[in-house]
Amino acid sequence: MRILLFILSVLSLLLAAHRFYLAEHTGQHKGGLFFLLIGIQLLIAAALISGHREERTSKPPTSTGKGGSNEAEPRA
């Protein structure tokens, strides 16, 4: 998933650069700004997914059960 987001962000940034090149003489940069913002958002999403995945795999699994400590003790 993160690889797909990285590829899409690079593609969007390349399209933004192309749009800025085409709009250099006319001054209409709306299309370039749109692709630039989409590319930045995809890049941030991919980085967050990558960081979350690394964080999740680096933690050792913890045991949830302690073998009967959840049982209520009888009162005398």
- N- to C-terminal Cα separation, the chain: 58
What's the CA gap between 31 and 17, in Å, rounded? Answer: 10
The whole-number pLDDT of residue 12 equals: 92
The whole-number pLDDT of residue 14 equals: 92
Least confident of 2-6, 46-50, 57-61: 57-61
Q: What is the pLDDT of residues 19-33, one digit of tens each?
A: 989 888 887 888 889
The whole-number pLDDT of residue 57 equals: 79
The whole-number pLDDT of residue 74 equals: 63
**pLDDT beyond 60 at 70:** no
Reported pTM: 0.63
